[in-house]
Each structure stands twice: as structure tokens, then as C-alpha cells.
Amino acid sequence: MLWFERQVVDRLVSTPDPRRRADITSHVDGTIAAMPEHLRAAIGAASLAFGGWFGVMRPRRRSPEATTPDPLVHALDTSWIPPMRQYVRLFRSLVLFAEQELP
């Protein structure tokens, strides 16, 4: 996964257990890598573009005790740019499924 993709996944994973976090991240990484080349390329391009954008905007990381959404995830979720919303939905789907289904 690219740097920004790893950032998004890291913020979407809900469990604090480092080993489980690593398993989930690894599963998402494998799934993204197995995608058709054209879809992977599109996601990679979006990651570079959004990574640059949020590199400038610098949303803060949520503290572990916080009950509000992570600022980066919230910004993607509520963006006026449809591909940003689709982007975070894709990663949320992969993370959610892995969180519920990985043994």
C-alpha cells in the first residue's frame, strides 16, 4: 500500500491490539494488490492526489479516547468531491470485512 493508503487504513481499524491491526492491514494490502491493474492504478493515483491534499491540510489524528470520528476519515467522508467519499468507502469496506471475518 502507498503511504496515504496506510494512513487511512490505520485510522479506520478500530481494534487497539497491534497484532490484529497488523493482520487486518496485511489483508487489506493483499486485497488491494490483487485488484485489476486499472483499478489499482486509479486508487494509487487517488492516493497520491489525496495524500498531497491532506498533507497540506494536515488533519490531526484522533486520540484513542475520542468518541468523535477521526479528522482525516471525517474529512474524506464529508468531502464535496465524490471520488474522495468513494475512496474512503472502499477502504472502510475492506477494513470492516477483515475486522469481522479474520479469525
Partner 1 sequence: MRSRSARTLDTEVLIIGSGAGGATTAAKVAAAGRTVMVVEEGPWVDPDAIEPFSIEEMVLKYRHRGPCATLGAPPVAFAEGRCVGGSTEINSGLWHRLPSYLSDEWRDTYRIEHFTDDVLDHYAEEVEQAQAVSLLPSAPPMSSAALERGATKLGWRAVEFPRVFKYDERGRGVKQTMARTMIPRAVEHGAVVTPDCRVMKLLRAGDHVTGALCERRNPDGVTELITINADHVFVCGGAIQTPALLQRSGIRGQAGLGLKVHPTIKIAARFANPIDHGGVPMHRITEFAPSLTIGGSVSRKGHIALALSDSGADFTDALADWERVFVYYAAIRGDAGGRVFAVPGLRAPIVSYRLTDADLSRLARGLIHLGEVLLAAGATELYPSVIGGRVVRRVDELASWWDVVTRSSANLMTVHLTSTVRMGEDRTRTAADSYGSVWGFRNLRVNDASLLPDAPGVNPQAAIMTIATRNAEHFLAEG
In the bound state with partner 1, the residue whose beta carbon lies nearer, of 72 and 94, is 94
Supply the minimum distance, in Å, between the C-beta of residue 22 and partner 1: 16
- Tell which one of 22, 39, 57, 81 touches partner 1 (CB under 8 A): 39
Distance CA 54, CA 31 (A): 24
Measured CA to CA in angstroms, residue 26 lies from 48, 76, 79, 90, 95 at distances of 20, 22, 27, 16, 10
- For residue 66, the minimal CB distance to partner 1 (Å) is 15
Confirm or reject binding of residue 45 to partner 1 (CB under 8 A). no
Count of residues near partner 1 by CB under 8 A = 22
> Percentages helix, strand, coil for the chain, rounded to the nearest 5?
70, 0, 30
Of the candidates 80, 94, 85, the one whose C-alpha atom is nearest the C-alpha of residue 46 is: 85
Please pick, from the candidates 16, 18, 36, 64, the single residue that binds partner 1 as defined by CB under 8 A: 36
Contacts with partner 1 in 68-97 (CB under 8 A)? 82, 85, 89, 92-94, 96-97
Amino acid (one-letter) located at 72? L
11 binds partner 1 (CB under 8 A): no
